[in-house]
Amino acid sequence: MAAPRRKALVAHRRATRAKVPTLPPALAAAVRAHVREEVARALAADRRSRVTRGANRATIIVFSGDLDRVMSALILANGAAAVGMEVSLFFTFWGLGALRRGTIVAGDGALSRAFTALTPSGLSRLGVSRLNFGGVGAKLLRTMMKQKGVASPEELLALARESGVRLVACTTSMDVMGLSPKDLVPDIEIGGVATYLGDAADSRITLFI
């Protein structure tokens, strides 16, 4: 580029910049301060919104099929619901035994049918995690609970339903274990990984039992 042409272009740019209006220093500082305040306010509101959404929900995975552990999940769920939290219980694999309607022989193939026949079905048939002794331990635990005035597992499950606790049975686990929705107690929601993650992502409390 020739020197005269370059000089003309530089002069044109300077003249163009000179025509752009500028704010007085005091006003510019006030505008910047206002923008910072608005951004800070928006960020704080977003943080409060996320904390509020998370603080009002609890999600519990019920993986165990042991009576005492299922009871713990139900007690925690009812306690959380009692203080106004939204609660989801996600039953998967052995935990599905707590929701089964009764002893069944179901599934595609001999292996699935044998599996469903041999695994516990319903809260009344679940054993305890320690000192079960072929079911004697579970009966002793129920006897002690009754003597102490503690609600039974069946009563805890009924209370959870009345309190609006979301009861979800894992679809993948049901497929593996040869179960269908008709094999479960009524009014159980069926959901997969996306269902659990949707609840857990918005929860302040997540537990695996």
Domain presence at residue 97? yes
Boundary (domain end) residue, out of 55, 74, 102: 55
Domain shared by 164 and 182, yes or no: yes
Domain presence at residue 46? yes
Check the CA dihedral 162-164-167-168 and report its sign.
positive
The count of structural domains within the chain is: 2
Domain shared by 32 and 73, yes or no: no
Token readout for 67 is 């009576």
Domain presence at residue 120? yes
* Structure-model confidence comparison of residues 35 and 99, the more confident one: 99
Domain presence at residue 152? yes
Determine the straight-line distance between the first and last CA of the chain, rounded to whole angstroms.
76
Domain shared by 66 and 38, yes or no: no
pLDDT at 5: 64
Domain shared by 111 and 49, yes or no: no
* Structure-model confidence comparison of residues 133 and 18, the more confident one: 133
Boundary (domain end) residue, out of 55, 75, 105: 55
pLDDT at 30: 78
CATH code of the domain covering residue 123: 3.40.1260.10
Domain shared by 107 and 201, yes or no: yes
pLDDT in tens, 68-113: 999 999 999 999 999 999 999 999 999 999 999 876 666 566 676 7
Residue among 153, 136, 135, 146 nearest 72 (CA) = 153
Domain presence at residue 147? yes
Domain presence at residue 113? yes
- Rounded to an integer, what is the distance from CA 171 to the centroid of its chain? 16
Token readout for 50 is 């996320």
Domain shared by 80 and 139, yes or no: yes
pLDDT at 156: 96
Domain shared by 106 and 91, yes or no: yes
Domain presence at residue 193? yes
Token readout for 94 is 């052995």
Domain shared by 50 and 65, yes or no: no
pLDDT at 106: 60
pLDDT in tens, 157-186: 999 999 999 999 999 999 888 888 998 999
How sure is the predictor about 122, in pLDDT bands with cuts at 50, 70 and 90?
A: confident
Q: Which residues pair with 169 in a beta bridge?
A: 91, 190
pLDDT in tens, 37-70: 877 777 777 666 655 555 689 999 999 999 999 9
The whole domain housing 48 covers 24-55
Domain shared by 38 and 111, yes or no: no
